[in-house]
Every structure is written in C-alpha cells, then in structure tokens.
Amino acid sequence: MIKTSSAVLFTVGVLFLFGVVQLSNHRLLWAGIIHLILFNAAIGIGEGMLLRAKYRVRRKTALRFMIASNYFAMSIGGLGIVWLIRNYVPFNLYSAWKLVPVSYLAVFIITALFKFPFVLRCMRRRSRRVSRALKVSFSFHAPTYIFLIIWYAAASDISVYMEASLDQTLTFVSHIPGFCYFISAEDGDIHRRNIDGSALHNVAPLNSSDRDDRLIVRSDSTAHGILYAIKHQERDGIIEIPIISNFTLSRTVLRTERLPRSTPKQIIDLRDVSDRELKYHIHQERYKGLEITFPFDFLGFEGGPKLNAEKIRLSLHTPFASWRVSNVTVLPGNQAVFQFGRQICVFDPASRRLGLIAKGQGPLVMIVRSSS
C-alpha cells in the first residue's frame, strides 16, 4: 500500500512539474533546472534502494553514492558532453534530425560511465566487482535515461521537421530572379548567392566573428546606395563598415534599413501591401521560431471565416541544437528568406518546402524587377 501511494504521489508530482515546464517561456531551461535539483536526487534514491535490494549494499552507502553519482554524471559528464556536441558537432538543416538521436545515445553512454566509479565503490567487497559495477551502471541507468529522454523531448520543439518538407534542390524557388548577400559562416567574409542556391561569389573580406553581425543597405539621393556591414566589436561596440559604394538600386527590390540599431527580429516585407494576407511573425516567447498564418482563402476555401486560419511554426529547440530565427525577408511570391541559427534558409508556404541556401548570417535579399 505504501509503495502504491508513493508511486501515485511520484506520478502526480512529475505531471505537475511537466505542466510547469510546458507553461513556461523557457521550457528547456526549466526542464534542466528541475532535473538538476529534483530528479537527480529522486533517481539516486531509487537506484540506491535497488542496489541495496539486489546486491545487499548498506543502505546509507548505496543512497549516498548513487545520489552523488547522478549529480556528478549530469553536472560534469552530461553538461560537458552536451556543450561539446553543441559547439563541435556540425548540425545543419538536413542533418539535425539524425544527429539529435545519436547525441542522446552519446550522452547516455558518457553519463553511465561517469556513474561507474560510484557503483564500483559501493561494491568494493564483492567478487567480480568491476564487471558487476559496469553492468549495474548501464542497466540501472537505462530506464531512468529513457524517462529523461521523454522529459527533454516534451520540452523540446522540432516543429520545423513536422511542418515543413526538406528540399535540397531548391527547385521551388528556381523561378525567383534574385540573390542574397550574406556573411559566410565558414570564412566570415561577404558572399553572394542566387536564391536557388547556385552561383556562389565572394564579394568582399570582412573577417566577421560575431553571431549578430549582418548586412544593410542605405540608399542615397540617386539610384544608388551603399552596402554596409553591421559588425560587433568588443572594444568599439557596434560599428558600420562600408563594403560596396554605387550599389545599384534602380532595378532591384532591396531589404533596406535606415537605422543601424534596427533589430534583426524585424521582418522586411517586399510584397505589395494588397498581397500581405499571409502573415509572418517571429515568435519570441513560448514557441521561438518563425510563425506563418495562412488566410482561410489561401487554403482554397474562399469566403470562410478568418477564425479558421491555419498556423504553422518553423522552430528547432533541443538540448543539442537550438536555432533562433532572425533577419526575415518576405518575397513577392510569399516565400521567405530567413536566418535560422547560422544558416540562410528559404521557405515556400504553398508547398511547405524548406531548403538551405548557404551557411551564414545577416542575409540581404535582392529581387530583380521585371523589365515590364
């Protein structure tokens, strides 16, 4: 009866904490805090009691070392390997959905190995203690780690892979006569590439190293302008660096920003005002990402109530890969070019196809006007 009541109380507590995480604006952060403070102790107590029952280890020894093993495995092993994965594993739009499960497996192996010395200490007077301790480290850790995968998966957001269809060919934007200037993630210089991913050109050196650097254009009194790089430096703060003068504007539609402090969270809309029924919004609260609201008649049902408009979200937030959306430019055909982490992506809402233009940041989109 006591065991049943404890199980029910534990389940109710987990569901309550799950609700707290889901209602917060920083779900992964709160999931990690609750794991660190509460779950490590609870899991350590459970593993300690199981170790005592199965191998007759002294209760005080088992509880003390198994609780300590969980805090040690998470704070040193878990957080350490997550940091290494986030900074050194080459996640991109096409590989993240495969690499995230592999990352969970890697963290499982590392954290189980970090528990091993504590289990070995508990079994110091047992025969074949090394093999037994290794077996216990993995077999005890497996069910609790499955619970933690479910816990962190519930706090994560992988809507970009649920809502969009990846298309590496970019044929869905091959008809768009335009190109994109951007700061390359590989060399920090300014490059230009067609929106369909073809014809990559190195435009000018910049040696950018800050993730918030971007490009803007300022027009002058003539049909020309100047291409600037907004660069962040520790000593001088935010500075503007002129890159190209006599930047022709007469035959192009440009992303233009008049103030250097213009936020990259603003959306630049190149569509005619009458063609802006499909709405783009950068969501900064609970569901961080790019939110697209379809008007009812966009779905082929004209005359329906606007309350039935559909929304989709392009977002990715996991413990291993988390990309923010910025520098969104909506094109005349309702497609959007935007920065997703340190990637320049393009999305077509009609076909829901999403593709990668280049690895970089601070995109500046130019669409060539038709001769007519």
**pLDDT tens digits for 83-104?**
999 999 999 999 999 999 999 9
Q: What is the mean pLDDT of residues 307-315?
A: 75
The CA–CA distances, whole Å, from 372 to 2, 100, 179 equal 81, 49, 20
Q: Which is more confident, 229 or 2?
A: 229
Query: Could you tell me how many helices (H) and strands (E) the chain has, helices first?
Result: 8, 18
Q: What is the pLDDT of residue 28?
A: 84
Of all residues in the chain, the percent with pLDDT exceeding 70 is: 80
Please report the pLDDT score of residue 22 as a whole number. 52
Higher-pLDDT residue of 73 and 225 is 73
Q: d(Cα 115, Cα 40) in Å, to the nearest integer?
A: 12
Q: If we measure between CA atoms, which residue out of 229, 260, 258 comes closest to residue 242? A: 229
Asked if residue 122 lies in contact with residue 151, where contact means CB atoms within 8 angstroms, the answer is no
Mean pLDDT of 236-255: 68
The confidence score (pLDDT) of residue 305 equals: 44
100-114, 144-158, 201-215, 230-244: lowest mean pLDDT where? 230-244
| Structure tokens given for 97 | 């959905």
- Is it the case that residue 253 has pLDDT exceeding 90? no
- Compute the average pLDDT of residues 183-191: 93
pLDDT at 1: 47
Look at residue 221 and tell me whether its pLDDT is greater than 80.
Answer: no
> How many angstroms separate the first and last alpha carbons of the chain?
82
* Mean per-residue pLDDT, 62-69: 92
Residue 172 tokens read as: 């869905």
The amino acid at residue 155 is: A
Q: Please provide the DSSP assignment of 202-262 as one string.
A: EEE------TT-EEEEEE-SSSEEEEEEEEEETTTEEEEEEEEEEEE-TTEEE---SSTT-
pTM for the model stands at 0.83
Tell whether the torsion through CA atoms of 53, 56, 61 and 67 is positive or negative: negative
Q: How confident is the model at residue 298 (pLDDT cuts 50, 70, 90)?
A: low
pLDDT score of 218: 75
Please answer whether residues 211 and 361 qualify as being in contact, where contact means their C-beta atoms are separated by less than 8 angstroms: yes
Among 206, 205, 48, CA closest to 118: 48
Which tokens go with 178?
Answer: 């335009």
> What confidence tier does 107 reach under pLDDT thresholds 50, 70, 90?
very high
Give the model's pLDDT for residue 315.
93
